[in-house]
Amino acid sequence: MDAVLRENWHRMYEIVPEQLQRIAEIGCVASAFNTNIDSVVKINGEKIIQLAHTVGLTPEDLQNSQNLITSPQDAVRGIIKCFSQGIAEEWLCTDKSTDEWLAQNLGDAHLQMGGQAGIIANVLAVLGVQKVCVHTASHPQMQAKCFLNADNLAAFTTDGSLQKAYDINRTADEPLVHRIIEFAAGDSFEFCGRTYTCPRANRFIATYDTANLELKIDNNFVRHLNRFGFDYLLLSGFHNLTATHSGLQRIEAVVPMLQQWKRLNPHGIIHLELASTQDKLVRTAILQKLAPLADSLGINEREALDALEICVPQLYDKMQHNTLTAPLLLDILQTLKNTLRTPRIQLHFLGTYLTLQNKNFGISPEQNRRGMMLAATVAAAKAGLGNIENRDNLLWAHGRHIGDIAARNMLMLAEYLHNPDFALSGITSFAGFDLIAVPTILIDKPLTLVGMGDTISSVSLIGAR
């Protein structure tokens, strides 16, 4: 069955180049709200232990469960947590001197586009959407050069005109730099008599960003969407908010914007990317206020648990320490779908993408499957090459077979559903919804994982033609 499964999906993936060409049919995609500059640094176990000694970190410090950076000790604690568990988290840094300490001790190895809205805008521009309109809270030249030099990618100048994003320089704006700390699977270090080994390549993000932390919104962007509308609106950036810094009020202020955009643009599709939201009150507001207004929601396995903690806390208590197998994640996805009632939810995890959507959703299961396969191919290229800024790189992974984990996940799901054919088709009815699953192409030693989830969610949706 395993060989048959692999060969079957190899044939299914043959549609991907044709699917990529269909992206040119899309008129306008808007991407908001968070755009920034990422400073990406790769570190090893030796560097981590050096940092731990530099800040005087103790084993007691590691017991602190607060996912917030107020000191260098907190920053190193977050690095060790994500390193030892092989997970990705983003912690907010509220102390400027700590951000300066990180800059001094880590440096800026590589500067690139950051923030879900900015990353998505670049991806969709290179995919060939006719016009990508991106929101920027800050747009100095340093930020502008992180955008692709592409005529179909536009943002707003200070006077409100829509121009090529690469050429804009709002000189009064301050650069917003986020620190992405990446580590490799299998690396290890010893600290206070214990060995810490990284089980999976991943990253820790330390974010000091006053504009995006306050969800500063450019009214020029709002007015443009009110007037001209969109085919798709991809929303993110709410995870940066905190309740103590008016985060709940900022979410409340966005609600009437979304309601107006939906009213003025009834055929447009609004997608919300949940992201790693550490503040539980903000996470609750996102799920209760924004998710019901979205047509589509994107999450990974960690964010699925985070959402479950808000939606069904008693079930979260039972599941948070379980091994997150594909069938268990499907159960969580179903629970979230029934609770949030967002028409479409896509969950991506290692080796597999799952989409659960209403039967009457405007994108068919077959279209979803094609979009998800395109996303898997593009994501593999991003992982293998480090970037996909050149259109010629988009199909770099096309023709590769699905990964071992991906094949096992499909077989487990088929067995759980008592539907052997599901492993081959990836489409079935489940709990009154359409379920679509796609096994993915995996890269053994990815060059980067930054922006991977954003790429997967956006391309899956936009590519579903």
Tokens in use for 195? Answer: 């060995």
Q: What angle, rounded to 10 degrees, do the helices at 452-462 and 116-127 form? A: 50
Residue-level pLDDT, tens digit, the chain, 465 residues:
688 999 999 999 999 999 999 999 999 999 999 999 988 899 999 999 999 999 999 999 999 988 889 999 999 999 999 999 999 888 988 888 999 999 899 976 688 899 999 999 999 999 999 999 999 999 999 899 999 999 999 999 999 999 999 999 999 998 888 899 999 999 999 999 999 999 998 999 998 888 888 999 999 999 999 999 999 999 999 998 989 889 999 999 999 999 999 999 999 999 999 998 989 999 999 999 999 999 999 999 999 999 999 999 999 988 877 889 999 999 999 999 999 999 999 999 999 999 999 999 999 999 999 999 999 999 999 999 988 989 999 999 999 999 999 999 999 999 999 999 999 999 999 999 999 999 999 998 888 877 899 999 999 999 998
Q: Does domain 2-37+113-173+212-462 have CATH number 3.40.1190.20?
A: yes
pTM comes to 0.87
pLDDT in tens, 108-137: 668 889 999 999 999 999 999 999 999 999
User: How far is the C-alpha of 82 from the C-alpha of 276, rounded, in Å?
Assistant: 13
**Distance set, CA 282 to CA 42, 238, 303 (Å):** 30, 8, 13
Residue identified by tokens 């974010």 is 207
